Amino acid sequence: MSKPVDIAPATGKLGVLTPGMGAVATTLYAGVLAARKGLAQPYGSLTQIGHIRLGRRDDARNPLIKDFVPLASLDDLVFGGWDAYSDDAYAAAMKAGVLEPHHIEAVGDELRLIEPMPAVFDPKWVRNLNGVDNVKPAEGTKMDQAEALMADIDRFRSEHGVERVVMVWCGSTETYKDLSEVHMDLESFEKGLKESHPDIAPSQIYAYAALQSDVPFANGAPNLTVDIPAMVQLAEERGVPISGKDFKTGQTLMKTIVAPGLKARMLGVRGWFSTNILGNRDGEVLDDPDSFKSKEVSKLGVLEQILQPELYPELYGELYHKVRINYYPPRGDEKEGWDNIDIFGWLGYPMQIKIDFLCRDSILAAPLALDLALFMDLAHRAGRKGIQEWLSFYYKTPQHAPEVYPENDLFIQLAKLKNNLRQMMGEELITHLGTEYYDYEK
């Protein structure tokens, strides 16, 4: 066994701030409030119901993760956020239409108290939102906006008496933009903030404000936010964890479950066509081609990395991968994702797999946002800073060190996450070798 890492205790309240108080964020708040009243179960959350094996299989030590590592308890969470619309969390949850009204009513009094702070918002970065009514004044520079956000964080801290804060981006997907000079180091970025450089996105202003305020930042959307060199540098300098990006729900979750299995059995894939219909506000934003581009980039990379066509050109070299998202209002948050997978096996004989996933986007995303908030806080207390690759499990495009490729296989990601928890607590890492149960030496 190794020495356990020094982890500061999870005493006091933990503030969870979400830029964006739409479908995912309000489903997160309402779910946690309901779970702590015992009205519903937090299914889908590894931190709340997952167990972790410790030691040998015949040791029978399988504690709950939340009993094994010192996580903040649901009772200690305090939610807050920013949104470009002034609806409080109760009204926003009703409009999002994810949860049944009776679920929202059951925690209505608490949701009504969560009012959005005015957003740092720029319609150039999110085009399909109309009639926004809760935006910080546009005068001043982007640095002034960052300072206004830092003041919001300070006020939130003192008004709610929270000991620690984490930020989880639950805002709309911003339009696609590549890295530019202004993102390359902290000095250029800060100069860019003072000159209101057009390549600095609102999400990057939130992330800068978070890190300057010693607040870990997790990015639930596919936009470029903490995955820029300037932000990695800032996170390391300030000793604050960052992670991203894009919650791994729905179709990509299925892809990262199915693709490793096909590859494990050395089955070839000729084509993978994925199409979705969804009718929530996220779908409306993604109807804009530039916002879709951010999403497309994040969805397409996954298969390539899992299947490794460079190692298996005969199986995956010709793979045709297409992803479509169509905005279809009647469906609301209840997305339907179809996958047609053309595979081949022994002697090249073709086969097909069809997946029709009738999912609920925010029902899948909310537990990920919760786990990220709790694990990012744990990482901070454990003295971890910069990129938290061990949280890849939660993301479509996991942030990683520049010299390695990202790990997208859900099962490798889970093993990585659990081994990181074991390592923090000074427990033996589990290799699944299995020889210890057999007497091979005789």
The contact set with ligand NAD (CB under 6 A) reads 19-25, 82-85, 96, 119-121, 126, 129, 170-173, 202, 220-221, 246-247, 249-250, 280-282, 285, 361-362, 364-365
Question: Cα(375)–Cα(370) distance, rounded to whole angstroms?
Answer: 9
Please, which residue, 202 or 241, has the CB nearer to ligand NAD? 202
Please, which residue, 171 or 268, has the CB nearer to ligand NAD? 171
CB of 20 to ligand NAD, least distance (A): 3
CB of 182 to ligand NAD, least distance (A): 18
Edge-to-edge strands of the sheet including 241-244?
Answer: 117-118, 77-83, 13-19, 162-169, 217-219, 241-244, 386-387
Tell me the DSSP string of 58-73: GG-B--BHHHHTTPPP
CB of 96 to ligand NAD, least distance (A): 6
CB of 24 to ligand NAD, least distance (A): 4
CB of 235 to ligand NAD, least distance (A): 20
Task: Name the token pair of 287.
Answer: 């109807």
Q: Position of tokens 């059995």?
A: 265
Peptide bond into 245 cis (omega under 30): yes
**Residue 146, Cα to own-chain centre: how many angstroms?**
22
Task: Name the token pair of 129.
Answer: 């939102």
Please, which residue, 246 or 296, has the CB nearer to ligand NAD? 246
Task: Name the token pair of 87.
Answer: 């609806």
Please, which residue, 365 or 382, has the CB nearer to ligand NAD? 365
Please, which residue, 22 or 268, has the CB nearer to ligand NAD? 22
* List of residues 6+ apart from 198 with CB closer than 8 A: none
Query: Which element (helix H / strand E) includes 82?
Result: strand 77-83
Please, which residue, 312 or 338, has the CB nearer to ligand NAD? 338
Query: Which element (helix H / strand E) includes 326?
Result: strand 320-327
Among 26, 197, 3, smallest CA distance to 112 is for 26
Please, which residue, 283 or 386, has the CB nearer to ligand NAD? 283
CB of 141 to ligand NAD, least distance (A): 16
Q: How many CB atoms lie within 10 A of CB 408?
A: 25
Q: Which residue is nearest to ligand NAD (CB)?
A: 22
Please, which residue, 290 or 342, has the CB nearer to ligand NAD? 290
Question: Cα(439)–Cα(57) distance, rounded to whole angstroms?
Answer: 16
Task: Judge whether 427 and 55 are in contact, CB under 8 Å.
Answer: yes
CB of 66 to ligand NAD, least distance (A): 23
CB of 122 to ligand NAD, least distance (A): 7
Strand pairing of 241-244 and 268-278?
Answer: unpaired
Q: Position of tokens 């935006």?
A: 135
